[in-house]
Amino acid sequence: MLVAAILRRYSPLVYGALGIGLVLAVVTAFLPWTWLQFLTVGLLIAGIGMFNGESSSRKRARSASE
């Protein structure tokens, strides 16, 4: 649907969000919890959620076409 179409079009952003989240997680891992770490965790969760949603929508599309 709309979300799947957005994910298909902007999939580089999904990987970008994952990459930025991972880099920020490594950089801020040794600091006390700050707003930056909450943002990092949010980016990671959002990136992983988008990645999972994208792969499941592809599976649904593949099974529907068969």
User: Which DSSP state fits 33?
Assistant: P
Kindly tell me the burial class for residue 17, based on how many C-beta atoms sit within 10 Å of its own C-beta (0-12, 13-18, 19 or more): buried
CB hemisphere CA count around 62 (13 angstroms): 6
Ordered by start, the domain boundaries in the chain are 2-61
pLDDT in tens, the chain (66 residues): 566 666 666 667 667 777 777 777 777 777 676 777 777 777 777 777 776 666 666 666 666 665
How far, in Å, CA of 29 to CA of 15, rounded?
21
The structure's pTM equals 0.38
